[in-house]
Amino acid sequence: MGIITKLETSNSKGRINIYIDEKFSMSVKDEIIYSLYIRKGQTINEDRLKEIVEEESYIKAKSKALNILKFSSKSEKEIVDKLKKNDFEDKTINRVLEFLKKYDFINDNRLAKNMIKSKVNSKKLGKNRVKRDLYKKGVSDSIIEEEIDENLDEEIEFENALELAYKKKSNLKDTDKRKLYEKIGRFLVYRGYDFELVKRVLNRVLKNEEY
């Protein structure tokens, strides 16, 4: 138990120093003073101190997450991983996630949708590569499948693969059809196109010739 005997502006911008029984106890964000209604003369116990410390940690974690999101969109798991690396507790991280989702700062469905359109339309990558990249970002299998089904146009994917295959063929000096089949096929598979689509593309590019 103790008494808050002084609240003073800290030398650090936006922070307030709290004194308990005339001794410095801690420095907190000024918004905590208002949100938790901290006043001079209040009696303060261990539970109240814990509440203040937890609120301070939450504000720091929220600020960290928002700074991360300034640079690029992140998945829920990416935010969790980065906050854990900064030693924030699970309880605090969960509060931050609730805030970010409530105000639409993070949305794994939207992230997946945008990545699919970017990687397929702009970078001309195949479905398998898109799935791997989304999985690496921690997007759930269910969301990946849902957004792939809704946003990946199979005809566009085929046309992209066809364009890449023709370009690859023009850059190869081989005339042996089997070698062309193998090299172009490996190239397309590496870019994330599935085997059945690759076979269709190769049949078109190599004009159904024997190889």
> pLDDT tens across 13-71, in order?
999 999 999 999 999 999 999 999 999 999 999 999 999 999 999 999 999 999 999 99
Distance, in Å, from the CA atom of 163 to the CA atom of 149, rounded to the nearest integer, reads: 23
Distance, in Å, from the CA atom of 155 to the CA atom of 19, rounded to the nearest integer, reads: 68
Tell me: do 115 and 147 sit in the same domain. yes
Which residues pair with residue 133 across a beta bridge? none
pLDDT for res 208: 55
pLDDT band at 162 (very low <50, low <70, confident <90, very high): very high
86 falls within a domain: yes
Tell me: do 102 and 52 sit in the same domain. yes
Distance, in Å, from the CA atom of 101 to the CA atom of 132, rounded to the nearest integer, reads: 24
Distance, in Å, from the CA atom of 91 to the CA atom of 36, rounded to the nearest integer, reads: 18
Beta pairing class for 23-29 and 43-44: unpaired
Distance, in Å, from the CA atom of 139 to the CA atom of 76, rounded to the nearest integer, reads: 8
177 falls within a domain: yes
Tens digit of each residue's pLDDT (9 = 90 or more) over 185-210: 999 999 999 999 999 999 999 885 54
Question: What is the separation, in whole angstroms, between the first and last Cα of the chain?
Answer: 85
58 falls within a domain: yes
pLDDT for res 1: 77
Sign of CA dihedral 180, 183, 155, 121: negative
210 falls within a domain: no
pLDDT for res 148: 96
Tell me: do 115 and 81 sit in the same domain. no
**Contact 161/188 with Cβ under 8 angstroms?**
yes
159 falls within a domain: yes
Cβ atoms within 10 Å, residue 209:
9
52 falls within a domain: yes
pLDDT for res 23: 93
Tell me: do 99 and 52 sit in the same domain. yes
Distance, in Å, from the CA atom of 205 to the CA atom of 184, rounded to the nearest integer, reads: 10
Tell me: do 70 and 83 sit in the same domain. yes
CATH number where 95 lies: 1.10.10.10
Tens digit of each residue's pLDDT (9 = 90 or more) over 116-158: 999 999 999 999 999 999 999 999 999 999 999 999 999 999 9
pLDDT for res 18: 94
Average pLDDT estimate for 60-87 = 97
Tell me: do 23 and 7 sit in the same domain. yes
Q: Which domain holds residue 39?
A: 1-44
CA proximity to 146, closest of 101, 108, 119:
108
